[in-house]
Amino acid sequence: MIIIVWILLRYVILTMMRIIKNNLCNLLVICLVFLTVTGWIFSGWPRIWQDPSVPPQVKEVKAIEYLSNPSFTDGTTDWTLSIATYDSTTFQDTAGSIKTISDVGRNKTAKGTCDQTITTSIGSSDTVLLSLYWKKGYTSSVDAQDLKAQIAKPSDPATFIDIWSDVQTGNIDWTSVGPIDVSSYFDETGTYIFRYYMYMDNPNDANAQAWVWIDNTSFDVTATAIVSVSVSDGIVAYGTLGQNSTKGTHSGDLNDLQTATNDGNVTEDFNIKGQNSTNWTLGATAATDVYVHQFCTSTCTTPPTNYTALTTSYATLATGIAASGNQTFDLYINTPNTSSVFTQQSVDVIIQAVQSP
């Protein structure tokens, strides 16, 4: 007797973290993987599973300082200055600050900048907090002592946008700002340029002069952990099988090795489980209306040696898979030795990704 088995291999994300926009829709497309056996049909079209159901739980990692030498204790190391200068004698914390000062005289202006390219990529779903201290001073009179924090986005590194500003004028001692949430400005994922912009403007006063200091700045980023898994090539045709017959994806048989890939941004563990169909039971030994499904991750060419039987509970497929890393695996099926059912059955294999401890 000839048996046909339709098997849907579905991949599930166990999200302890936020899924970025459109990721779920993409998941529902790439996770439809069909493994087919032609012959006697065991029926039904399977559902797409989500584990857990939407909305997912969100998990964030600890905030990290993304600026290098944020308090200028190492002078201007990792910063690029234009007009602005390092002041070793004036500071808010322990050593040094950045200063922009106008020349003495009528209608004199000064535009100073202090830039740093943030080497760590910032995600569009990350939380970004800005903190800083500033100080202002002038002699005689002043028209402007503008101070701004700016960023240039990955898509347009030549254009700077304001994410914070202060336009007060006066002789003002060290003033604390933040932490303030500036996350909304970081709507792209990639490498940003951070800048302090300082603008001094003297009025029509021969004795006028103005200056601004920046010190003890902080740029804390809390990255959202994204856990995601995909499998390729995702389609396996088992071919024509009879009762109590076997077929596998290993080399020498179908030669159709499957690859589970970590599409998230954190290290992941992969789990795997099988499913009962409408009329078949997943078991350890083939029997009447009982089928066997097994998986293997290493030395898989002589099944069932090194293969592990799938059950309806999760088993470990792989651990410690780094972002963009992968785990290959083979599948091996043994059809029931007899069956009383002649309708198509849908049996599922589910790959689950969870963030590694």
**What are the tens digits of pLDDT across the range 177-236?**
989 999 999 999 899 999 999 999 999 999 999 999 999 999 898 877 888 888 888 777
- In this prediction, residues 336-356 reach a mean pLDDT of 83
At 35 the pLDDT is: 33
Residues 84-109: tens digit of each pLDDT: 999 999 999 888 999 999 999 999 99
Each residue of 115-130: pLDDT tens digit? 999 988 888 888 999 9
Strand partners, 240: 38
The per-residue pLDDT for 16 is 30
Question: For the chain, what are the domain ranges?
Answer: 2-59+226-355, 64-222
Q: Which comes out higher in pLDDT, residue 239 or 274?
A: 274
pLDDT at 50 over 70: no
pLDDT at residue 61, rounded to an integer: 55
Confidence of residue 62 (pLDDT cuts 50, 70, 90): low
Mean pLDDT of 64-82: 93
Question: Has residue 294 got a pLDDT over 60?
Answer: yes
pLDDT at residue 334 is higher than 60: yes
Query: Has domain 64-222 been given CATH number 2.60.120.260?
Result: yes
Each residue's pLDDT tens digit, 301-316: 999 999 999 999 999 9
pLDDT given at position 236: 73
